[in-house]
């Protein structure tokens, strides 16, 4: 009887049922969309952090760059000679450490021994500024001018007429043509590549370093740098007169790589005149929930260092990714709550209004012996069905909106300030002392993943909306008396 009556009443009041269902659907769809976009923002931020830290890296240990001495500007210096042959090409490389003050390699072992640290590896960041080109020598020519009439023709004692005079020699032609190229180099601990700068990329062409190549003259290049400079596996890369064989091309897991060339750590230390030195120590904690405790322990036991966690780095994210994330978490969240509350109220009011128009119906049912409990159950049942219909429509609309965002994949930019002491690579590609810290700009495609939890939340909201509307309408229906039905008869 309950099912038959329920089906008949919903079919009789299709328009009212559809209005209630659509109100709930819009609120639920907005909740799904905001939740999925927020999840996509979180994934985008995770990609940004992983592209800098690498999967598995929980924190880094660095040391702030010391101020330059009064007799040292810290700027690169290049020496060239003007040679007699204009066809002679000259080249000079300036290699400087960047990313903060150098740390002793022994600190890596000390950090590894700290409580809560699973593993730690050191890396050396370098900036190479290459200047190459040639000088073209000019030709010195003297100019001859004719004497003027007048006094120049008055010869001195024994003199005759004045002749031409020879002017100062002038240099004609000549000049210089030089090209400046700056790129980043990172020294990698080849015995543990799961941590460190190379952990953010995957070698897609060639091969990566082996544990035996701790001091080998080999290199892995980022895909973008290799493409720009037309390097392939097997070719050689020359840095400061040392030739390195390219053994692999690495593709970053997300966005663009912040490193152009990877070398074995010992080779990078030799290249940068930084024997037994590193600029960054990458740390993996034994428990991801104890990262703050591990950070405090390292800072306490190893003074003078800066420990940066993923949470610290996330606070430096700016750009459109940060703006959109803030909007999704603040404005979007409160907007979805407001729309959902409004949808619940509208559903409750419409249900209550529908009950008011069914006075004769409910009064007659009570006169026939229906208890108030049964009348209330009937109204609540109709409201729950309306809520489930609204929930199904809302889930469909929300999934459509989320898939549309994923299909469009709008591009967001993320800028990360250097939290590890600032770069030191003077010249192109690196800020000199006193300049602002270099920012890494990345472009991330936004997606909107929908989880099972979000679907379950939508279904729960649909049922809750139906219960709220049904409770309000059922309460009003239960208070009706058979006499009300007689008074409504015209």
- HSE-CB at 352 with a 13 A cutoff on CA atoms is 13
CA distances from residue 284 to 258, 295, 313 in whole angstroms, order as listed = 21, 11, 16
Give me 14's structure tokens: 């299709």
Summarize pLDDT for 116-125 with one digit per residue, the tens. 999 999 999 9
Is this structure's pTM higher than 0.85? no
Percent pLDDT > 70 in the chain is 67
Summarize pLDDT for 68-98 with one digit per residue, the tens. 555 545 555 555 555 555 556 666 778 888 8
Give me 375's structure tokens: 């009348």
Summarize pLDDT for 242-284 with one digit per residue, the tens. 999 999 999 887 656 678 999 999 999 999 888 999 999 999 8
Instruction: Give one word for 464, left, alpha or beta, with left for phi > 0 and alpha for psi -120 to 50.
Output: alpha
pLDDT score at 2: 60
40 Cβ contact partners less than 8 Å away, ≥ 6 residues apart: 405, 406, 446, 447, 448, 449
Closest CA to 232 of 243, 251, 242, 246: 246
CA 302-304-308 angle, to 5 degrees, is 80
Residue 226: Cβ-neighbour burial (10 angstroms; 0-12, 13-18, 19+): buried
Closest CA to 469 of 383, 353, 355, 340: 383
pLDDT score at 138: 63
pLDDT score at 159: 47
Q: What is the 3-state secondary structure (H, E, C) of 255-316?
A: CCCCCCEEEEHHHHHHHCCCCCEECEEEEEECCHHHHHHHHHHHHHHCCCCEEEEHHHHHCC
Q: Is 174 helix (H, G, I), strand (E, B) or coil?
A: coil
377 Cβ contact partners less than 8 Å away, ≥ 6 residues apart: 2, 474
Ramachandran angles phi, psi of 438, nearest 5°:
-70, 140
Instruction: Give one word for 259, left, alpha or beta, with left for phi > 0 and alpha for psi -120 to 50.
Output: beta
Residue 321: Cβ-neighbour burial (10 angstroms; 0-12, 13-18, 19+): buried
Summarize pLDDT for 389-408 with one digit per residue, the tens. 888 998 999 899 889 988 88
CA distances from residue 14 to 375, 382, 475, 476 in whole angstroms, order as listed = 20, 12, 22, 21
């Amino acid at each position: 009887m309950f099912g038959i009556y329920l089906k008949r009443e919903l079919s009789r009041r299709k328009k009212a049922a559809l209005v209630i269902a659509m109100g709930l659907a819009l609120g639920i769809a907005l909740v799904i969309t905001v939740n999925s976009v927020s999840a996509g923002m979180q994934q985008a931020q995770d990609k940004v952090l992983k592209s800098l830290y690498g999967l598995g890296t929980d924190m880094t240990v660095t040391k702030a760059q010391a101020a330059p001495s009064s007799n040292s500007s810290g700027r690169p210096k290049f020496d060239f000679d003007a040679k007699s042959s204009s066809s002679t090409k000259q080249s000079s490389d300036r290699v400087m450490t960047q990313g903060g003050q150098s740390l002793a390699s022994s600190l890596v072992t000390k950090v590894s021994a700290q409580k809560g640290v699973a593993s730690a590896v050191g890396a050396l960041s370098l900036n190479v500024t290459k200047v190459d080109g040639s000088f073209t020598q000019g030709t010195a020519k003297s100019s001859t001018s004719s004497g003027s009439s007048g006094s120049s023709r008055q010869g001195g004692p024994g003199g005759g007429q004045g002749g031409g005079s020879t002017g100062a020699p002038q240099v004609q032609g000549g000049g210089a043509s030089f090209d400046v190229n700056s790129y980043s180099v990172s020294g990698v601990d080849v015995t543990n590549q799961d941590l460190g700068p190379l952990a953010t990329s995957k070698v897609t062409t060639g091969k990566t370093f082996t544990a035996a190549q701790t001091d080998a003259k080999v290199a892995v290049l980022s895909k973008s740098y290799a493409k720009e400079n037309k390097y392939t596996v097997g070719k050689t890369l020359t840095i400061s007169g040392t030739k390195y064989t390219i053994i692999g091309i690495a593709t970053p897991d997300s966005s663009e790589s912040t490193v152009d060339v990877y070398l074995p750590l010992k080779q990078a230390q030799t290249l940068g005149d930084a024997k037994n030195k590193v600029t960054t120590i990458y740390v993996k904690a034994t428990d991801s929930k104890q990262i703050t405790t591990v950070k405090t322990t390292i800072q306490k036991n190893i003074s003078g260092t800066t420990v940066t966690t993923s949470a610290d780095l996330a606070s430096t994210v700016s750009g459109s990714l940060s703006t959109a994330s803030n909007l999704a978490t603040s404005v979007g969240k409160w907007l979805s709550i407001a729309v959902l509350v409004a949808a619940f109220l509208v559903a409750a009011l419409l249900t209550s209004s529908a009950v008011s128009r069914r006075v004769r119906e409910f009064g007659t049912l009570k006169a026939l012996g229906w208890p108030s409990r049964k009348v209330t159950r009937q109204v609540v049942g109709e409201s729950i069905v309306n809520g489930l219909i609204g929930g199904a429509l809302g889930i469909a609309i929300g999934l459509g909106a989320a898939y549309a965002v994923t299909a469009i994949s709008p591009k967001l930019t993320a800028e990360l300030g250097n939290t590890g002491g600032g770069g030191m690579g003077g010249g192109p590609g690196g800020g000199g002392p006193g300049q602002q810290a270099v920012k890494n700009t990345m472009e991330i495609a936004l997606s909107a993943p929908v989880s099972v939890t979000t679907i379950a939340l939508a279904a729960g909201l649909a049922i809750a909306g139906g219960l709220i509307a049904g409770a309000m309408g059922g309460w009003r229906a239960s208070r009706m008396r058979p006499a009300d039905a007689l008074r409504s008869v015209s």
